[in-house]
């Protein structure tokens, strides 16, 4: 987990919106098949939408 101001480490600490770079890194670095990645994106964004949070709690997953 990164702690240098870019990525999920910072997002988890200060509850700011994730950077575009972090979003693309989470997608690219996931080893899950395409269908699983798409399910994670939908699930994680639904969690954020329903809770009114900027973080779903699944750090490093696609959609978080």
The C-alpha torsion from 5 through 18 and 7 to 64, rounded to 10°, is: 160
In whole angstroms, what is the distance from residue 14 CA to residue 18 CA? Answer: 10
Q: Can you give the residue ranges of every domain in the chain?
A: 1-64
pLDDT of residue 59: 86
In whole angstroms, what is the distance from residue 53 CA to residue 51 CA? Answer: 5
pLDDT of residue 4: 47
Mean pLDDT, contiguous 10-residue spans, the chain (64 residues): 46 63 90 96 94 89 88
Global pTM value:
0.69
pLDDT of residue 6: 47
Task: Quote the distance between the C-alpha of residue 16 and its chain's center.
Answer: 12
pLDDT of residue 43: 95
């Amino acid at each position: 987990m990164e702690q240098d101001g870019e990525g999920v480490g910072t997002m988890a600490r200060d509850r700011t919106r994730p950077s575009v770079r972090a979003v693309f890194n989470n997608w690219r670095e996931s080893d899950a098949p395409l269908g699983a990645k798409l399910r994670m994106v939908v699930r994680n964004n639904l969690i954020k939408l329903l809770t009114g949070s900027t973080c779903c709690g699944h750090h490093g997953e696609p959609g978080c």
